[in-house]
Structure 1
Amino acid sequence: MTTQDNVRVSGAWERVDGRVLDQFRAHSVANLGDALDRLNIVDGGIAPIWNGAKAVGTALPVLTVAGDNKAVIAALDHIRPGDILVINAFGHDGRAIIGDNLAQRFAVYGAAGAVVDGYVRDAAIIEELGVPVFAR
């Protein structure tokens, strides 16, 4: 684990094999949720910020302080193609954690999307970019 600018970064973890992800792509979220007895299914308060958003990938977990996106910015250096940033912002509703600038950078780095337990701004622009984002 490394620490820089008050952001701790955990060591590398094993990402899911692409063949497993392909199997997930073949099924609907509802069917996967039923088959897994709702294990680790996102709660209903988190939804796509634009209609038709879909994403399958390996989770890149980011834990941040409510209302602060410094850890999200630090996570940019760790994105690998196909990652989905899973950002725990503790459901904070006082300030957006990501907007179009970060979403655009996610796409440039090859991220498959983002799931945010917090608020997001610039939904229309993020939809134009085609970045699947799910948020509170």
Structure 2
Amino acid sequence: MTHITALYPRLVVEGADAALDFYTRAFGGTVTERYTGPDGRVVHAMVEAGPARFAVKDAGDGDPAPTGDGVPVIMSLDVSDADAVAERMLGAGATVIFPIADRGYGDYGGRLRDPFGHQWLIAQRIENLTPEQVQERVG
């Protein structure tokens, strides 16, 4: 049986570092992870505020920041078997945005769109890396 191990939103913004500053000050949070791509833009940062946690990233790579009434949030679903969850989602009507694959930074997963337009980042941890190793592989 496949187990869900975590679920958290990924907030897509223009200016992730300014957003991280805002969220830590506004919510008394702490940035526990922060990784950048070769261009220096934030590709993933995790904020913890009390028992809540959420990710923040700069727009790009197919992820738009909110404009007008748009609310781009990517649900990140950590699971014990990414293939099984993706298979069930596809069988229920989801479509593939990024196929399930080894992502090189310790996760095996991909991204699917549900029939209602929401994006789901499905991830299965396959390698435990230090933050420095993740940054090296991402950047």
Q: TM-score range by the shorter chain?
A: 0.3 to 0.5
TM-score normalized by the length of structure 2 = 0.32
TM-score normalized by the length of structure 1 = 0.32
More strand per residue: 2
More helix per residue: 1
